[in-house]
Structure 1
Amino acid sequence: MPPPLDCLLLDFDGVLANYARHLRVRHLADACGRTPAQVHAALFDSGLEQQFDSGLDSTAYLQQLGSALRVPISVAQWQHARIAASPPQAGVVERVQRIALTLPIAILTNNGALMAQTIPRILPSLAPMLDGRILCSGALGGRKPDPAVFLRAVELLGVRPSRTLFVDDLFVNVRGAREAGLHADTAGDSRSFGKVIRRYGLA
């Protein structure tokens, strides 16, 4: 018998969207007149993106990024690049839409706080069901797979770990969720996601 569930908690990159870092770098480079190599160095080689994912304030993050690139970076430029690099996984999104008719959904992602206002633009069909339910590591003060992050997430959502199903494309994060008492499984495309939701009686 599938366990009773009160919430479907989903990873974003790799589950709901196919994130392509190189496309994000290229789009941001085009927007600010820098080379992809310069943008990659400023975002990733410097450790700035990981700091953002871990709680660095959005304003400070964009200021530091602009300083490294020697050109101001706006929220709009940042979002445009992130949206361009995050095409939705249509099959997964369609399945989640159906599930959301009867079961609350939420997102838990290792991303900076700006993603909470960016994801609804990437997933407009799910946006009404995700209002106030997009949890970013940058706002939680910790990253997956730390079990404490999952416990904080379910506390904010007002649900119990034992009645929450978490789906991520990385098993290391699934293991962290299980350690926190959540039901958890891996999926990285529509087919594998379909298998998971059938296993839990959601399809």
Structure 2
Amino acid sequence: MGPFQAVLFDMDGLIFDSERLCYRAYLRAARAFGFQMNPALYMSLCGRIESEVVAGLKHAFGDDKDVATWRAYIKKQKNAVRMEQNGRVGKKPGLLELLNYLQERRIPYALASSSARSLIDQYLEAEYLTHAFPHIMDGTSVRRGKPDPEIFLKAAELIGADPARTLVLEDSLAGIRAANAGGFTSGFIFDDLTGMDSITTGYPILDQPEGTCEGIRREAVLSFDTLADVADFLEVLR
């Protein structure tokens, strides 16, 4: 494996500690509308564009459930939870070290997130990283969300990178599969939600996903403990 030409970053759960924030919003919705929720189901929805999250909820609970209303409530609660944290989402360990490394080595990089650009900008501003990602591809810029590789292919094109020489950093199964499908090298960094609460009463989950950490790790080409480890890995390859 030779040196990488570029790096692509996912956002939620990868550079920001926003998956816990979002999962708390799902738990609030589950209690309010009476449906079951657990980390495995939530992780199966991570990394997807909005239309596919709604489709995933319908698949999990049935077409007769008003999941659009649930989803609207979840979005409101995401903002409410963030405001309870003084508007912060929290940076993941090693982010600043990796960004500094890429800038010093002049390795191009971009953010490729399924979230809308408005939310991406809010998170970057909240964590004082407004200028940290000069190249951003958001979920509204693609027709097909992860696990389709479209967003990563467009992000690579944006910075003039060859997918075969680009490392994609992800924490979700959908993201890892998208990277692999696009001919990138996928790098998995686990965002551990397993210790968080589950809701076991209410509308049952009809198709329980198996999105475990080890299952995702097996599909990734590379695996790292933190973002700081990525900088060390890239330096060894130079």
Structure 2: how far apart are the matches of 1:150 and 1:163? 13
TM-superposed CA distance for 1:137, in Å, is 1.6
Contact 2:9–2:110 (8 Å) recurs in 1: yes
Contact 1:86–1:122 (8 Å) recurs in 2: yes
**Change in 2 beyond 3 A, CA 1:165/1:98:** same
Contact 1:137–1:144 (8 Å) recurs in 2: no
1:96 aligned to 2:98?
Answer: yes
**Change in 2 beyond 3 A, CA 1:39/1:130:** farther
TM-superposed CA distance for 1:202, in Å, is 7.0
Structure 2: how far apart are the matches of 1:82 and 1:140? 27
Counterpart of 1:109 (choices 109, 113, 118) is 113
Q: Give the letter aligned to residue 17 of structure 1.
A: F
**Change in 2 beyond 3 A, CA 1:105/1:4:** closer
**Unpaired runs of at least 5, structure 2:** 36-44, 53-67, 192-223
Q: Give the letter aligned to residue 150 of structure 2.
A: A
**Change in 2 beyond 3 A, CA 1:171/1:193:** farther
State TM-score, norm by structure 2.
0.55
Post-superposition CA distance 1:71-92 (Å, at most 9, x none) = xx99xx9756457473221x22
1:3 aligned to 2:6?
Answer: no
Counterpart of 1:161 (choices 149, 163, 170) is 163
Counterpart of 2:136 (choices 116, 126, 134) is 134
Structure 2: how far apart are the matches of 1:145 and 1:165? 16
Post-superposition CA distance 1:144-201 (Å, at most 9, x none) = 1212332122123332212321100124422321221212210136834333433332
Contact 1:53–1:111 (8 Å) recurs in 2: no
Task: Map 1:135-150 onto structure 2 (within 5 A).
Answer: 135-150=137-152
Identity %: 20
Q: Give the letter aligned to residue 232 of structure 2.
A: R
**Unpaired runs of at least 5, structure 1:** 30-34, 42-46, 55-63
Structure 1: how far apart are the matches of 2:159 and 2:181? 18
Structure 2: how far apart are the matches of 1:129 and 1:12? 13
Contact 2:98–2:228 (8 Å) recurs in 1: no
Bigger shift: residues 185-194 or 136-145? 185-194
State TM-score, norm by structure 1.
0.63
Higher RCO (CA-CA < 8 Å; seq separation 6+): 2
Structure 2: how far apart are the matches of 1:171 and 1:130? 23
Match of 2:233 in 1: 199
Structure 1: how far apart are the matches of 2:127 and 2:34? 26
**Change in 2 beyond 3 A, CA 1:95/1:191:** farther
Q: CA RMSD in A?
A: 4.0
Q: Give the letter aligned to residue 96 of structure 2.
A: E
Post-superposition CA distance 1:46-74 (Å, at most 9, x none) = x9xx77366xxxxxxxxx97xx67xxx99
**Change in 2 beyond 3 A, CA 1:178/1:198:** farther
Aligned length: 175
**Change in 2 beyond 3 A, CA 1:51/1:181:** closer
Structure 2: how far apart are the matches of 1:173 and 1:145? 6
Structure 2: how far apart are the matches of 1:36 and 1:170? 22
Structure 2: how far apart are the matches of 1:201 and 1:51? 33
Counterpart of 2:185 (choices 183, 191, 197) is 183
Structure 2: how far apart are the matches of 1:105 and 1:202? 18
- The structure richer in helix per residue is 1
